[in-house]
Structure 1
Amino acid sequence: MALWRGSAYAGFLALAVGCVLLLEPQLPGSALRSLWSSLQLAPAPPGPGSPEGRLAAAWDALIVRPARRWRRVAVGVNACVDVVLSGVKLLEALGLSPGNGKDHTILHSRNDLEEAFIHFMGKGVAAERFFSDEEAFHDIAQIASELPRSPALCRRKCSFNWTEICSQLRFKGEEWGRLKAPHANRFIFSHDLSNGAMNMLEVFVSSLEEFQPDLVVLSGLHMMEGQSKELQRKRLLEVVTSISDIPTGIPVHLELASMTNRELMRSIVHQQVFPAVTSLGLNEQELLFLSQAASGPHSSLSSWNGVPDVGMVSDILFWILKEHGRSKSRASDLTRIHFHTLVYHILATVDGHWANQLAAVAAGARVAGTQACATETIDASRVSLRAPREFMTSHSEAGSRIVIDPSRPVAEWHREGVSFHFTPVLVCKDPIRTVGLGDAISAEGLFYSEARPHY
């Protein structure tokens, strides 16, 4: 009935406009356009009954605080002053013109910066690169400091040394020449030798005895890409020793970031870093690169084709925990991985070591929407549900098919002692904040997670 009523209204309105044209043919075109636009029937904005509204309400019901909460959390080690601004405006201020995109593992010049930015802007994916030329970097940073900047949405205030600068270039629906960013995201580049050498790690770890945290959160291993291979190997062994000095019983979460050095990533995976930490946080680029570097599942893929396949992601997460996680035959602390991509998140845990993960994965996905839209709660009219509505849980073995219902948004499955929790993300249509989303997602997931005492 509502459909017929709407069609009838539309017909009457069209007839009315036709009569006006017949009786007043000299009526100005602007007046006609104004009249027609005021009469058009617009679809109702998404509300509580929309898939987005139902999913947000279901999250609110599912997200409960754990029985045992963290009292103190120690956060280190990667620290810098962020300069957040439009990437296109910076490149224009540098006198650069739109050209062809090309990835560079290390940036040596302005042209390298331009090509790498275009490469990742065209894909709409986040990335981070080291800029090797100190003088050229500081020239660029000086120009950047004179441009209008966004609020530093990801100021890392645990820094001991404020001389290091991270330039974070946003691309949010921006166009440059014929190129338009398909998604809002950011490209980070820095010349950060202090963090690259992780100079304050030992000081940080030594302070834990007095601080007595319940949880330690680490990041910054990716910054070592700017160091020589010899220093990387030496420092990585010292990192493992320092992490091992953290008192037994305190979970350690390691947040990964964009990397290009496969040898360094292999060393992180194999040289006891993974077994020394309890939890990992990473996105789709970092997950695939990790698998490529360590010859894991689906490592023959050069890149994801659009939305990462859930079954493939699940296979890689399972492989990490089975090959490098805790088991009866392996002395490893690794029992948890929080994976996040634009349209969905997965929490994978070794059974028996974590609780409240259903709430944790939902909380991480919820904060992705509120943080990006800069709202306190999910506004159903400003977000969209883009996750696959059904998927296979594996491609390496006979997985099961799962169909997502917005009213029951967290799917759960199990595989040989590993539990998976999946939930869609309500993607902000017009994001205001794109910097620091991964940090916020992992932090929220950890806040709602409960590590069992024997973890």
Structure 2
Amino acid sequence: MAGAPMKLGSIVSFCIVLYAIYFRKNDIGDERLVSLKEHLLFLESKNKVGVGVSQPKVALGYGACHDLFVNATLLLDYQDLKGSPEHFNEISNKEEFVKSFAYFFKHGAAAERFMSNSKLYDDLVEQALKLPDTRWAIGGNAPLMAKRFYLEGWKVLFGAKMSKKLKSYIPEEILVVGDNENEEVRDDIHMILEYKADERFGEYKAPRANRYIMHNDENNPLLSSLEKLGEYLPSFKPNLLVISGLQMMDNFPFKRDGKDLRAERLDLVKQQILSQPLSTLAHFEMASYVDLELLKHLTTKVLPYVDSVGMNEQELSNLNSVLERGRVVVVADSNPRIATALDQMRNTFRLIRQKNKKFGSKRKLTRMHVHTLAYQAILTVQNLKWKRTPAAAAKASLTAHRYVCNTQNINLEKTKLLLDDSFSTTTDNDNSSRVFFEANKPVACWEETIESDKVEICVAPVLICTEAQLTAGAGDNISAAGLVLQVEI
């Protein structure tokens, strides 16, 4: 495989030390957990930023919403499933909704879809509000990531049109821009249909906890806060610019009078990135996309101009396929082997680097972060601005547990590992390299050369929360936590 990691002898030359760890049991199950927790916490604690006068600054766009969390299998009736589960790019009626939900539920895969039927959407919201345990929260990539950066000590600016009620969810220290003075804003509502691992929907059983998001947005697809955010960027002077929320454009009816408004808005996103000095790092947060036209826009108008990309395993598989074959992958393995994910990361890295050259971008992709249920994988080009990669992987892992369990404490009785004692670094049959996890050095890191670039890859096991309290927003918090430690000011 082109660009695969070096052979075993080369890896040894880079001083990857292999340690065997034996799987043993004690009162909490996997004995590795105690040492892994201790050393992940140590890595996090000794690598703090955002304290004192050296506060990094982050600007984020675009959009926000009210998230309405609801138990998926209480809202939807399996008896309404007519025929087999099926994928739809856009949802227009109840039958499509149930089929689409069942399709992703049986795979345990996250999904996000636009419902074009506003009347049906409003009716579903009313039904959801009558169910037990339904709750409201602030939603959207930008505000959730903004809150995480703020909690980690950063100064934060983010762009979104929000009502006064929705703004009340945001700490006062975060500067929110987007709406005009005295403007009445009608917040978009996202329905978050959550389910737990092993939960049943008729004959189907979820292989893992996850969520299906449905929306009928009006503000967010238009990136209505983009211009206002642009007005504040010159004086704010961020160290990091985060581009997110573009999935709200997925399958939204943009073309009017023969004009593609979506392409126009994305051109403005591109210009916003280009308006920043190269000293301001730019990160793009991927999401669930199925609209191929939009994905192709992203590969020409956004991806060539950012320094960093963050995504989960489903989004990695989809992005890799779109870049390589021009095809959308609707659902992928919800718990891929590390070797598979690393191969896709390398390939995606190379393909985006080719876009850098093709479009003459002054920025080059120098960082990728892939977060999965079982592990965190971060790739960074060496000797550049991205720092503390091992600690970033550790912090992302800990944040995954804390957010999903909705607690700051790591309770090992509610924790499990899915990783074995070792993993291959590639699926290449000719490459016999393996890395063994070391309990007192839980983040495995090594060097590779991908084409002409020397990169560092770090993989950290996730202390998986076995009693999930939150699923939606986990990726946003994990990605932000990974970035928190990597920006040098």
TM range (shorter): 0.7 to 0.9
Among 470, 476, 479, the residue aligned to 1:439? 476
Is the Cα contact below 8 Å between 1:153 and 1:435 reproduced in 2? no
Q: Distance in 2 between matches of 1:244 and 1:372?
A: 35
Is the Cα contact below 8 Å between 2:313 and 2:334 reproduced in 1? no
The share of aligned pairs that are identical, in percent, is: 29
- Whether 2:57 is the aligned partner of 1:76: answer no
Residue in structure 1 matched with residue 281 of structure 2 by the alignment: 251
- Whether 2:28 is the aligned partner of 1:46: answer yes
Among 117, 121, 124, the residue aligned to 2:108? 124
Q: Distance in 2 between matches of 1:356 and 1:166?
A: 35
Among 233, 253, 257, the residue aligned to 1:227? 253
Residue in structure 2 matched with residue 380 of structure 1 by the alignment: 412
Residue in structure 2 matched with residue 430 of structure 1 by the alignment: 467
Q: Distance in 1 between matches of 2:310 and 2:372?
A: 11
Amino acid of the residue matched to residue 170 of structure 1? E
TM-superposition CA deviations, 1:179-229 (whole Å, max 9, x none): 222211111010113211212112112212233322222211111111346
Is the Cα contact below 8 Å between 2:90 and 2:116 reproduced in 1? yes
Residue in structure 2 matched with residue 413 of structure 1 by the alignment: 446
Q: How does 1:198-213 map to 2 (within 5 A)?
A: 198-213=223-238
Alpha carbons of structure 1 residues 341 and 45: separation in structure 2 relative to 1, 3 Å: same
- Whether 2:273 is the aligned partner of 1:292: answer no
State the shift of 1:306 in Å: 5.4
Is the Cα contact below 8 Å between 1:372 and 1:433 reproduced in 2? yes
Q: Based on CA coordinates, which of the two structures has the bigger radius of gyration?
A: 1
TM-score by length of 1: 0.82
State the shift of 1:54 in Å: 1.2
The worse-fitting range, judged by mean Cα deviation, of 299-308 and 341-350 is 299-308
- Whether 2:131 is the aligned partner of 1:147: answer yes
Q: Distance in 1 between matches of 2:308 and 2:388?
A: 15
State the shift of 1:399 in Å: 6.3
- Whether 2:219 is the aligned partner of 1:238: answer no
Q: Distance in 2 between matches of 1:193 and 1:289?
A: 26
State the shift of 1:332 in Å: 2.4
Amino acid of the residue matched to residue 45 of structure 1? D
Q: Distance in 1 between matches of 2:102 and 2:122?
A: 21
Among 384, 395, 401, the residue aligned to 1:369? 401
Q: Distance in 2 between matches of 1:306 and 1:231?
A: 34
Q: Distance in 2 between matches of 1:240 and 1:301?
A: 25
Is the Cα contact below 8 Å between 2:28 and 2:413 reproduced in 1? yes
- Whether 2:298 is the aligned partner of 1:283: answer no
Q: Distance in 1 between matches of 2:209 and 2:361?
A: 41
State the shift of 1:44 in Å: 5.3
Residue in structure 1 matched with residue 94 of structure 2 by the alignment: 110
TM-score by length of 2: 0.76
Q: Distance in 2 between matches of 1:376 and 1:357?
A: 22
Q: How does 1:149-188 map to 2 (within 5 A)?
A: 149-152=133-136, 155-156=139-140, 157=143, 159-161=160-162, 162-173=186-197, 174-188=199-213
Q: Distance in 2 between matches of 1:275 and 1:148?
A: 46
Q: Distance in 2 between matches of 1:127 and 1:276?
A: 26
State the shift of 1:441 in Å: 0.4
Alpha carbons of structure 1 residues 305 and 249: separation in structure 2 relative to 1, 3 Å: closer
SS at match of 2:76: helix
State the shift of 1:98 in Å: 7.9
Is the Cα contact below 8 Å between 2:395 and 2:482 reproduced in 1? yes
- Whether 2:360 is the aligned partner of 1:315: answer no
- Whether 2:383 is the aligned partner of 1:340: answer no
**Larger helix percent:** 1
Q: Distance in 1 between matches of 2:324 and 2:60?
A: 31
Alpha carbons of structure 1 residues 296 and 402: separation in structure 2 relative to 1, 3 Å: farther
Q: Distance in 1 between matches of 2:42 and 2:382?
A: 24
Amino acid of the residue matched to residue 373 of structure 2? L
Among 347, 352, 358, the residue aligned to 1:324? 352
Q: Distance in 2 between matches of 1:208 and 1:331?
A: 20
SS at match of 1:253: strand
Residue in structure 1 matched with residue 180 of structure 2 by the alignment: none
Is the Cα contact below 8 Å between 1:370 and 1:377 reproduced in 2? yes
State the shift of 1:160 in Å: 1.3
SS at match of 1:130: strand
SS at match of 1:355: coil
State the shift of 1:385 in Å: 0.7
Residue in structure 2 matched with residue 65 of structure 1 by the alignment: 47
Amino acid of the residue matched to residue 46 of structure 1? I
Q: Distance in 2 between matches of 1:125 and 1:249?
A: 37
State the shift of 1:288 in Å: 0.5
Q: Distance in 2 between matches of 1:301 and 1:111?
A: 22
TM-superposition CA deviations, 1:222-267 (whole Å, max 9, x none): 1111134623323222221122123442112221110112232122
TM-superposition CA deviations, 1:303-326 (whole Å, max 9, x none): 544521222221222233333249
The worse-fitting range, judged by mean Cα deviation, of 304-313 and 190-199 is 304-313
Which consecutive residues of structure 2, in runs of 5 or more, have no partner in the other structure? 1-24, 144-157, 163-185
The worse-fitting range, judged by mean Cα deviation, of 200-209 and 325-334 is 325-334
The worse-fitting range, judged by mean Cα deviation, of 225-234 and 135-144 is 225-234
Q: Distance in 2 between matches of 1:163 and 1:152?
A: 13
Amino acid of the residue matched to residue 227 of structure 1? P
Alpha carbons of structure 1 residues 263 and 294: separation in structure 2 relative to 1, 3 Å: farther
Q: Distance in 1 between matches of 2:43 and 2:239?
A: 25
SS at match of 2:460: strand
Residue in structure 2 matched with residue 263 of structure 1 by the alignment: 293
Residue in structure 1 matched with residue 381 of structure 2 by the alignment: 350
Q: How many residues end up aligned between the 2 structures?
A: 406
Is the Cα contact below 8 Å between 2:319 and 2:348 reproduced in 1? no
Is the Cα contact below 8 Å between 2:314 and 2:334 reproduced in 1? no
Which consecutive residues of structure 1, in runs of 5 or more, have no partner in the other structure? 1-42
Q: Larger relative CO (CA 8 A, sep 6+): 1 or 2?
A: 2
State the shift of 1:104 in Å: 1.0
Q: Distance in 2 between matches of 1:392 and 1:126?
A: 26
Is the Cα contact below 8 Å between 1:318 and 1:418 reproduced in 2? no
Is the Cα contact below 8 Å between 1:255 and 1:280 reproduced in 2? yes
Alpha carbons of structure 1 residues 204 and 393: separation in structure 2 relative to 1, 3 Å: same
State the shift of 1:333 in Å: 3.7
SS at match of 1:405: coil
SS at match of 2:139: coil
SS at match of 1:434: coil
